[in-house]
Amino acid sequence: PDVAHLHTILYQLSPSLIETLKRCRVPVVQTLHDFSLFCASRYLFADGAICERCRGGRYHHVLLRNCCGGNRLLSLMSFSAKTVHSLFKLYPGKVDLFIAPSRFVRDKMVEWGLPARRIETIPHFLPPSQEPESLGGGDGSILFAGYLVRQKGIFTLLRAMAGLPKVRLTVAGRGPEGPAVAAAVARLGLANVELAGFLRGDDLARAVRRASLMVFPSEAYETFGMGILESFLAGKPVVASNLGAYPELVVDGRRGGLLFEPGNAEDLAA
């Protein structure tokens, strides 16, 4: 091949394939879909908050804080892998060029020590199968579609809905926090919240068409925001947390929707 374009390789394929490619004199580029270049738990998120303690190769924090989903074995495996890769300069040292999907990711990687000359910004995109819908429409309800984990801000969203009894929210998704989400809905008495489970294809498209806006309350750094792009294509405004790459897509009150303070249920409700 003329070039090898890598994506998520760290724990499945491992950086050993980079050695093979370099021996064969194949240039290597990689798109950064998370922060695993420098973060042992991939997401710069631990104990329910943004975490940058591994900066400078201090990967022992993944063990101290049990960062990988609270799983001791996974955290140990992640620590071992990052330590070996760092000691032998396997990764990121031999990748020729990295592709960041947002300015935020590029700036964060440079801040953490990746030379600026080795990273370019190329945003993700959607090839529209149709002309974008006109903005608006829907039945007045809100849709959250995403993975049910704490870092996606789902519990902040539920607290916000407790103050909006006349507004309906549909939660589409599944994940390890699914039972806790259902318990929170019951505890807060949220009759205005429907847990729709995992939706895909036509079912998800119908849910998007039915909603008047989409909400993205992430409390971790997002590398881009494909869901926001998909919302725009469907003609739906969004409310998103003012964090990570989201402000590159949504200019508060001027383009695409509104931004709110991450983790602030009152600001989100407003």
The predicted-structure confidence for 85-110, as pLDDT tens digits, reads as follows: 777 777 777 899 999 999 999 999 99
Which helix (H) or strand (E) segment holds residue 245: the answer is none
Rounded to an integer, the average pLDDT of 150-175 is 97
Rounded to an integer, the average pLDDT of 30-51 is 89
What DSSP designation does 189 have?
Answer: T
Strands 45-46 and 49-50: antiparallel
Phi, then psi, of 155 in degrees rounded to 5: -75, -35
Rounded to an integer, the average pLDDT of 231-238 is 92
Rounded to an integer, the average pLDDT of 140-159 is 97
Band (pLDDT 50/70/90 cuts) for residue 33 is: very high
The closest of 152, 145, 170 to 229, measured between CA atoms, is 145
Would you tell me how many other CB atoms lie within 10 Å of the CB of residue 103? Answer: 13
Band (pLDDT 50/70/90 cuts) for residue 42 is: confident
pLDDT(130) > 70: no
Q: Is 267 exposed, middle or buried (0-12, 13-18, 19+ CB in 10 A)?
A: middle
Residue 236 confidence (pLDDT): 94
